Structure 1
Amino acid sequence: MGKIVGKPKELKKINKTLILNSIKKRRSATKTEIVLDTGISNTTVRTLLLKLLEENEIISVGLDESSGGRRAERYSLNISKKYILSMIVEEKKIIYNIVNIVGEVVEENIIKIESIYDDNIIDTILEDLLSQYGNIKAIGISVPGIVNEEGYLSGKDIKEWKQVEVNKYIEEKYKIPVILENDLNTLALGYSMEYKKNFQKDLNLAYVHFTTLGAGAGLIINGNLVKGKNNFAGEIGIMPIEDSYLNEVLSRNLSDDKYSMIIANVMTIINCMVSPDMIIVGGNNFKHNLIDNIKKTYSEKNKIFSEVIAVKDSTKVGLRGITEIALDLINDDIKIISNGG
């Protein structure tokens, strides 16, 4: 493992985070292994391990087998010290999970809702979960709309957009940091993480989603999530198509060939703009039975084209994406750079 370096001002805080990061990556670590990972001096590591034990951030899991000398004490994270609540808000349901600081799911559930504009539903869920898990330290919410400071805008077109104010209210009432992210951005991030594990590199990726709420896209370019000005990137549902806009055209009674041509045109536009390695399509309103026809039409339109993959259930991927974003909230705003690790 390569050394890890940090670049904030508060050295003690940085070193504690580096130590925790080393333990997290190894699942458990000895003092010697932490020194090797971080480049921090043996004395400093010993002092900070004692402090982290005192703060209940880590626990001792026993002594290693002796190799002839003094047996080394091994440490792991106290995974019940902090929990993350991740939620996905959909048109008729909310999916949530509770994860510990190493990303292990301890609870997962689906709750049916009448409307995404119901101001009380998230409040009710939070009160119930906080009564069970008093140490929830961050909340990530994936929402179907354009995220702003107060909450998010949602609707099929600009005339129908409604403001849903949620994050400011939660933070003020529960004193827990909240991060909202567009649902398609969390899906794109989740798929990017999944494919990076397989390809061992960052991919340019577009996730295109079709639901009864409308069409949208999430973009990952060179491993980074693209949000654009005012978080507007990916709002393809209001993109002009023929005599109207995409969401309205898709609501018509289209023939299979017409539908395939429109979806292929959308993918062609994405291909011309960002040329991703792959375009992933899905959503509960996507016509999966036409995917072969869509791929054929798309490939005929383009000499250079992206790989197209259709997916039916993206819930777990979306939860993974918003969980990763929420986990960053409890990392004390310290950026970790791994050199060759």
Structure 2
Amino acid sequence: MNPITNNTMRVKKMNKELVRQALKTMKQGTKSMLAQATGLSVATCGNILNELIDTGELLELDMEESSGGRPARLYRYNVNFSYIACIIIRAGVKTHSLTYTVANLAGEAIKEGYQETDRMEPDMIEKLVDQLIGEFPQIRAVGIGVPGAVNQGIINVSDIKELINVPLEASIRDKHGVEVIMDNDMNLTVYGFYQKQGYDEEKSVAVVTFIEGCFPGAGMMVDGHILRGSTRFAGEIAFLPFGMSHEEQFRQLHERTTFYSLAGRAVSSLIAIMNPETIALTGSLVEPADVELIRQECLKYIPEMHMPQLMLLENPHENYMYGLITMTLESLSYSLQLIEKRR
């Protein structure tokens, strides 16, 4: 393709995304309001609005109330133009589970469900995607949260052995032609937690989980960005050099007399490496009284002036699904990085 033509198409895509995002934020607006919000001309906004109306992505409303001049047409983004499907895979002691949500472009749930199984095979996940897309053909993106490390769309470390080295992301994308993201459960949980805080400026926070029957994990946001690492291994704190085997680590984590000490050493390592403002502790192994015990353990290694706020996160599942929905919706948006460079 001619470089000039290619560049023109890219600019059109970015302009269209600017109008989309502005209208989503404004809820409804006129051409003039959109031009002011995006910095584009009224004529450009008008052309984009016409294109989006033709595809059904925008809805035409009544004329706005006149303040003396000619009334202008109002437009609203059609949040039901496309859907996303979000699936959370959980590892349990005796059974595994799938929790799913089909949501519209505003993140509002259209359908929710739950399945349990003794053995989590990749086919079970693919069949669920088939079912959801069959029921809602307007699904344009699928987000999957997994208990393990994901690199290039493939799980390489997980408490569910059947999912390791399975190209699940590529398989779903090739079969259905939809955008697919797959990420670690803790990355998604900390992302949801972070987004819900509504910080005015970029912060560093972490969520650390200690779940019965599993090894611990952490999700980290550093200066407003998820810390994944070069091979997406960041946060796998079970691999810290505790000076013991994984079997002994697992035993100590599940013993009340040794849990807080081992947890405190893991949290201390995070504090020393990322210096976060807040660390949220969660998981079935964490009891409310453990927060102070872990804090005291951390103070054996970390000066008090550098201690973050330690808190108990009682409803991590809400943050997890919120993070997955938010990230999956973002996967549908055209990147605006080039726009920022252009301005």
TM-score for both structures, normalised by structure 2 = 0.88
Matched, 1:129 2:132: yes
Q: 1:74 to 1:305 in 2, by over 3 A?
A: same
Query: Mapping of 1:275-314 within 5 angstroms?
Result: 275-303=275-303, 304-314=306-316
Amino acid at match of 2:130: E
Q: What does residue 332 of structure 1 align with?
A: 334
Instruction: Decide whether the 8 Å contact of 1:250 with 1:259 is kept in 2.
Output: no
Query: What whole-Å deviation, never above 9, does each CA across 1:261-293 have from its counterpart, x for those lacking one?
Result: 111111111111111001111123334442232
For 1:99-178, list aligned pairs within 5 A: 99-116=103-120, 118-155=121-158, 162-178=164-180
Which residue number in structure 1 is paired with residue 193 of structure 2? Answer: 191
User: Aligned equivalents of 1:39 and 1:167: distance in 2?
Assistant: 37
Q: Deviations over 1:43-92 (max 9, x none)?
A: 11112211211121101122211111211211111111111111111012
- Could you say if the C-alpha distance between residues 94 and 48 of structure 1 is closer, same or farther in structure 2, counting changes exceeding 3 Å? same
Structure 1 counterpart SS, 2:311: strand
SS of structure 2 residue aligned to 1:120: helix
Task: After superposition, give the CA deviation of every residue in 1:17-67 in whole Å (9 maximum; x if it has no partner).
Answer: 111111001111111110110111111111221121112110112221111
> Partners in 1 of 2:309 and 2:325 — Cα distance?
27
Q: Report the Cα offset of residue 94 of structure 1.
A: 1.2
- Structure 1 residues 328 and 8: CA distance shift in structure 2, 3 A: farther
1:203-248: per-residue Cα shift (whole Å, max 9, x none)? 1011111222211111110001111121111111122213324x74
Give per-residue Cα distances to partners, 1:113-143, cap 9 Å, x unaligned: 2233x12211221222112211100011011
Count of residue pairs the alignment pairs up? 328
Mapped to 2, the partners of 1:29 and 1:279 lie a distance apart of 40
Are 1:98 and 1:105, in contact at CA under 8 Å, matched by a contact in 2? yes
| 2-structure distance, mates of 1:138, 1:237 | 32
Answer whether contact 1:219 1:226 (CA < 8 A) is retained. Answer: yes
Q: CA deviation at 1:297?
A: 2.7
Q: Report the alpha carbon displacement of residue 14 of structure 1 after superposing the two structures with TM.
A: 1.6
- 1:223-238 to 2 correspondence within 5 Å? 223-238=224-239
**What is the rounded CA distance, in whole Å, between the counterparts of 2:172 and 2:317 in structure 1?**
23
Deviation track 1:167-206 (CA, whole Å, cap 9, x = no partner) reads: 12111222222111111111111111112x1x42221011
Residue pair 2:122, 2:163 contacting (<8 A) in 1 also: no
Residue type at the aligned position of 1:183: D
Other-structure match for 1:55: 55
C-alpha deviation, 1:105, in angstroms: 1.9
Q: Percent identity?
A: 23
Q: Kindly indicate whether the alpha-carbon contact (under 8 Å) linking 1:139 and 1:176 is maintained by their aligned counterparts in 2.
A: yes
Where 1:229 maps in the other structure, the secondary structure is coil
Partner of 2:12: 12
Normalised TM-score (structure 1) = 0.88
Residue 10 of structure 1 and its aligned partner are, at CA, apart by 2.0
Q: Shift in Å at residue 300 of structure 1? A: 4.9
Deviation at 1:337, TM superposition (A): 6.4
Instruction: Say if 2:253 and 2:263, in contact at 8 Å, map to a contact too.
Output: no
Q: Within 2, Cα distance between the matches of 1:90 and 1:250?
A: 18
Comparing 299-308 and 284-293, the one that deviates more: 284-293
Amino acid in the other structure paired with 1:276? P
CA–CA distance in structure 2, aligned partners of residues 149 and 301 of structure 1: 36
**What secondary structure sits across from 1:327 in the alignment?**
helix
**Letter of the 2:175 counterpart:** K
Q: Partner amino acid for 2:235? A: G
What 5-or-longer segments of structure 1 have no aligned partner?
Answer: 1-6
**Shift of residue 254, structure 1, vs aligned partner:** 6.2
Letter in 2 for 1:119: P
Match of 1:320 in 2: 322
2-structure distance, mates of 1:9, 1:203? 36
Distance in 2 (alpha carbons) for counterparts of 1:215 and 1:305 = 21
Q: How large is the RMSD of aligned CA atoms in angstroms?
A: 2.5
Give 1:8 deviation, angstroms: 8.7
2:240/2:266 contact within 8 Å kept: no
Is the Cα–Cα contact under 8 Å of residues 59 and 78 in structure 1 kept in the other structure?
A: yes
- Partner Cα separation in structure 2 for residue 160 and residue 57 of structure 1: 40
2:4 is matched with none
Q: Distance in 1 between matches of 2:176 and 2:149?
A: 24
* One-letter identity of the residue aligned with 2:187: N
| AA matched with 2:172 | I
The amino acid that maps onto 1:187 is T
Match of 2:270 in 1: 270
